[in-house]
Amino acid sequence: MKASPSSGPSKGSRSVKDAPAATRAPRHAAPTAEVLALAKRAIEARISERCPKSLALAERGRKVLPGGVAHDNRYVGVPSLYMQKARGARKYDVDGRGYIDYWVGHGALLMGHGRREIVEAVHLAAQEVMHPGACHEREVLWAERVRALIPTAECVRFTASGSEASALAVRLARGLTGRDAIVKFEGHFHGWLDHAVNGIDVPFETPWSVGVPGAVRALTRVLPANDLAAVERALEGRDVAALILEPTGASGGSVPLAEGFLEGLREACSRHGTLLIFDEVITGFRVAPGGMQAKTGVRPDLTCLAKVLAGGMPGGAVCGPKPSFEPMQFSGDGARDRTQRVAQYGTFNASPVCAAAGNAMLRLVQGGEPCRAADQYTAQLKRRLNALFKNEGVPFAAYGVSSVFHLFTAEAAAAELLRDGEIEAVQIKADRLKKKGMLDGLLRRALLLEGVDLPPGRQAWVSAAHGDEELEETVDAFARAIHALRELDCL
Ligand SMILES: Cc1ncc(COP(=O)(O)O)c(C=O)c1O
């Protein structure tokens, strides 16, 4: 399916050049707040004009859904676009406009939308049994597939999401060590639950959410990444149960890790009796069928999985060597199991439809071809976009590892060095890389008008369904969006 004709370039745009001259910023200077506000209004007005059905739904949604959304990251200001259909690398809104999709199910859909084998497996499972409230063969098969692909996965316990997987991994580590504290790194995301709200966004000292007691937050210590001396100091008191991290760096690699850092963590954790947890919710089955642990050879004690794992359905898992799951095993002694086990429930853990989607996805991914295809596309996309940014003289850069890419718009000088390959992202500090540029939101809105949907967070994902047509159309859409912003005096 191709994008509908209505998704073509924006035409007849109203320009803030019509606004009084005093509000205009000279080109090549940072636009003033006034110019930015006018441009935002102009772009949003164009979106509203072209997406009346989305606008009506957004109005209804705001009345009943806090913020009008079901996930904070989908709060993109007014109006949100409402999607109806999707196929391959494209999705279509309720007004019939098509978008090349760089959300692909928040990174879950490595095969793109509506992949036949996955959809058929879900249908079949739903027809056979939606929820038996009992053990079933699909969950065993799913665990066996995980074990076959992830190097450390001797045992697998399923959850309903990545957030739950990270909570369970931390509970297991506490159960194993008898220690309470955990360590995470600045900018690293491990789901929305209480143990992980510290140090996600700048400023890192401010928790990501209110509503989490200080006593709970005090147990999660935040360190800068790439500083093994700081890790050593944090672990030497031998009171840290686990050190958890995203193994390509914060937000899927938007703040990359230094060479040797993972190896250093492995060594320090082993020496201090701290469990090393890889949160491979994004990297698992994406950077390679066996995730980052297969790529790097560094072996964590516990691994969190979700997203690609469940083929687009809800699902997560914790996996690892058998001893890491010792606290969960039933001993058969009721009194001991009641008082000394790490317990876990979850109505929808490994439900048959989720297991079916996961099994179909992992069967498709096992040879590595989808990972390679998505990686190749992303490498080309970054190269083409950086060439465009350079030609157009705009202060943006595209970078990232594997099939996750990051658009950097925060600092002109750093963007120039990044896109020319003169410095690597790992040389820039986390708080700078995590910062959003003034033009970030505007650029993403302008891209929507040009038929490209780029997530507002620090990362975007590519699927194996993205191909040559999508590549050309995306680069063209960026060029038109840049020109639109220029017309609005923002560039
Ligand atoms: C690295 C990482 N861990 C955990 C999670 C949480 O997963 P979920 O949204 O399935 O709860 C995410 C979600 O984006 C993630 O990127």
pLDDT at position 258 over 60 = yes
Mean pLDDT of the 165-183 span: 98
Angle 310-454-37 from CA coordinates, rounded to 5°? 140
**d(CA 162, ligand 1 centre) in Å:** 5
Cβ 201 under 6 angstroms from ligand 1: no
Report which protein residue has its CA nearest ligand 1's atom 5: 191
Q: What is the mean predicted confidence (pLDDT) over 344-368?
A: 98
In this prediction, residue 24 carries a pLDDT of 34
Going from the N-terminus, what domains does the chain have, and what CATH number goes with each?
A: 5-96+369-487 (3.90.1150.10), 116-365 (3.40.640.10)
The model's pLDDT over 149-171, given as tens digits with 9 standing for 90+, comes to: 999 999 999 999 999 999 999 99
What band does 25 get if pLDDT is binned at 50, 70 and 90?
A: very low
In short, whether 281's Cβ falls inside 6 Å of ligand 1 is yes
- Asked if residue 474 has its Cβ within 6 Å of ligand 1, the reply is no
Q: Which tokens sit at 355? A: 């297991």
Q: Tokens 């505007």 sit at which residue?
A: 442
Q: Give the pLDDT score at 423.
A: 82
Tens-place pLDDT, residues 359-369: 999 999 999 99
Residue 12 pLDDT > 80: no
pLDDT tier at 97, thresholds 50, 70, 90: very high
Average pLDDT of the chain to the nearest whole number: 92
User: What's residue 336's pLDDT?
Assistant: 95
Q: Whose CA is nearest to atom 13 of ligand 1?
A: 191
Q: Give the per-residue pLDDT at 457.
A: 81
pLDDT digits (tens, 9 = 90+) for 426-452: 888 888 888 888 899 999 999 999 999
Percent of the residues in the chain that have a pLDDT greater than 90, as a whole number? 86
Which one is predicted more confidently, 416 or 198? 198
Are 61 and 71 spatial neighbours (Cβ–Cβ below 8 Å)?
no
Single-letter residue type at 388: L
pLDDT at 76: 81
Amino acid occupying residue 104: V
pLDDT given for residue 107 in this prediction: 98
282 lines ligand 1 (CB under 6 A): yes
State if residue 306 touches ligand 1 by the CB under 6 angstroms criterion: yes
State whether the beta carbon of 246 lies less than 6 angstroms from ligand 1: yes
Contact by Cβ (8 Å): 83, 91: yes
Query: Which pLDDT score, from 0 to 100, does residue 367 have?
Result: 98
2 has pLDDT over 70: no
Whether pLDDT at 380 is above 90: yes
Segment 27-55 mean pLDDT: 90
If one residue of 170, 200, 251, 307 were mutated to test the ligand 1 pocket, choosing by the most ligand atoms within 8 A of its CB, it would be: 307
**Helix ranges restricted to H, 182-277:** 214-217, 228-235, 250-253, 261-272
Shortest-distance atom of ligand 1 to CA 107: 14
Dig out the tokens for 293 from the structure: 């642990």
Q: Residue 252 C-alpha to ligand 1 middle, in angstroms?
A: 10
> Residue 78: what pLDDT?
67
Nearest to 48 by CA among 457, 473, 448: 448
Model confidence band, residue 36 (pLDDT cutoffs 50, 70, 90): very high
DSSP 152: T
User: Over the stretch 224-240, which tens digit does the pLDDT of each residue have?
Assistant: 999 999 999 999 999 99
DSSP 8-class letter at 119: H
**Ligand 1 neighbourhood includes 190 CB (under 6 angstroms):** yes
pLDDT confidence of residue 375: 98
* Beta carbon of 280 within 6 Å of any ligand 1 atom: no
Closest CA to 363 of 108, 141, 139: 141
Q: Which residues contact 89 (CB under 8 A, 6 or more apart)?
A: 100, 101, 104, 112, 113, 463, 465, 466, 467, 470
Report the separation in Å between the CA atom of 307 and the middle of ligand 1, taken as the mean of its atom positions. Answer: 8
Q: d(Cα 373, Cα 170) in Å, to the nearest integer?
A: 34
Average pLDDT over residues 263-276: 98
What are the pLDDT digits (tens) for 279-308?
Answer: 999 999 999 999 999 999 999 999 999 999
**Residue nearest atom 10 in ligand 1 by C-alpha distance:** 162
What is the H or E stretch that residue 250 is in?
helix 250-253
Å from CA of 413 to ligand 1 middle: 31
**Rounded distance, CA 111 to CA 462, Å?**
9
Query: Does residue 184's CB lie within 6 angstroms of at least one atom of ligand 1?
Result: no
Question: Which CA distances in Å does 444 have to 41, 150, 438, 447?
Answer: 14, 35, 11, 5
